[in-house]
C-alpha cells in the first residue's frame, strides 16, 4: 500500500514540478502532460474548480487505487488532449458526466471497480478513437448508446458486473476483431 507522505515527498514547491513523482512534462513546452498515481492513498475527491482541471495539456490521467471518492465533475471534459483515463479501484459514485464525450482523443478508458451508476451518456459515442474500454464492477444501468458503429479502433471492451439491460449493440462490432467481455 502506498503512503502519501513517502510517495509525494518530492512535491516540494522549491523544486521543479516536472521532477515530482507521478508528474511528467513535455520536454519542449514544460507543460504537464501526465499525472500517474498508483496505490497512493490520496483520500480525496475531484473538486470542479481545482488546479487539476487547469492542466489543459494532459494526455494521461491515472489514479489507480488512490482512495478517491465522490462524483466526477463535468470539468473532466476540459481535457481535450487526454488519451488515457485510468480511475480504476477508487470509490467514485454517480453517473459519468456527459462532458466525457468531449474527450475525443481518448484511446484508453479504464473505470472499473468503482461505484459509478446511471446510464452511459449518449455523448460516449463521440469517443471514436477508443481502443480499450473497461467499465467492470460498477452500477451502470440501462443500455449502451445504440450508435457505436464509429468505434473503428476498439480492440477490447469489458463491462461485466453492471446492470445493463437489453441486447448488446451490434453496431459495436465491426470487421476487425474485438474482444468483448
Q: How many Å apart are CA 139 and CA 156, to the nearest integer?
A: 20
Q: Which residues contact 13 (CB under 8 A, 6 or more apart)?
A: none
Q: How far is CA 93 from CA 10, 16, 123, 139, in A?
A: 31, 34, 19, 9
Task: Please give the residue that has the higher pLDDT: either 181 or 122.
Answer: 122
Query: pLDDT band at 150, cuts 50/70/90?
Result: confident
pTM equals 0.88
Angle of CA points 137, 156, 152, to nearest 5°: 130
Query: pLDDT band at 66, cuts 50/70/90?
Result: very high
Residue 3 CB coordination number (10 Å) = 11
The three three-digit cell numbers of residue 69, written as one number: 471518492
Nearest CA among 100, 93, 177 for reference residue 139: 93
Query: pLDDT band at 181, cuts 50/70/90?
Result: low
Lowest mean pLDDT among 4-8, 84-88, 103-107: 4-8
- The structural domain count of the chain equals 1
Range of the domain at 142: 4-180
Query: pLDDT band at 164, cuts 50/70/90?
Result: confident
Percent of the chain with pLDDT over 70: 83
**If you average pLDDT over residues 31-39, what whole number do you get?**
95
The CATH number assigned to the domain holding 29 equals 3.80.10.10
Average pLDDT, the chain: 86
Amino acid at each position: 500500500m502506498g503512503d502519501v507522505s513517502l510517495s509525494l515527498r518530492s512535491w516540494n514547491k522549491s523544486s521543479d514540478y516536472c521532477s515530482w513523482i507521478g508528474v511528467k512534462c513535455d520536454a519542449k513546452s514544460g507543460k504537464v502532460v501526465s499525472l500517474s498515481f498508483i496505490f497512493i492513498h490520496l483520500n480525496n475527491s475531484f473538486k470542479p474548480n481545482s488546479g487539476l482541471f487547469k492542466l489543459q495539456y494532459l494526455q494521461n490521467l491515472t489514479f489507480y487505487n488512490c482512495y478517491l471518492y465522490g462524483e466526477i465533475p463535468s470539468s473532466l471534459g476540459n481535457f481535450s488532449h487526454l488519451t488515457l483515463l485510468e480511475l480504476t479501484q477508487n470509490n467514485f459514485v454517480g453517473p459519468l458526466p456527459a462532458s466525457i464525450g468531449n474527450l475525443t482523443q481518448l484511446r484508453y478508458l479504464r473505470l472499473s471497480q468503482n461505484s459509478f451508476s446511471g446510464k452511459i451518456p449518449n455523448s460516449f459515442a463521440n469517443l471514436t478513437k477508443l481502443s480499450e474500454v473497461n467499465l467492470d464492477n460498477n452500477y451502470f444501468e440501462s443500455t449502451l448508446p445504440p450508435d457505436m458503429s464509429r468505434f473503428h479502433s476498439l480492440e477490447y471492451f469489458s463491462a461485466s458486473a453492471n446492470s445493463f439491460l437489453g441486447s448488446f449493440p451490434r453496431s459495436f462490432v465491426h470487421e476487425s476483431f474485438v474482444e468483448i467481455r
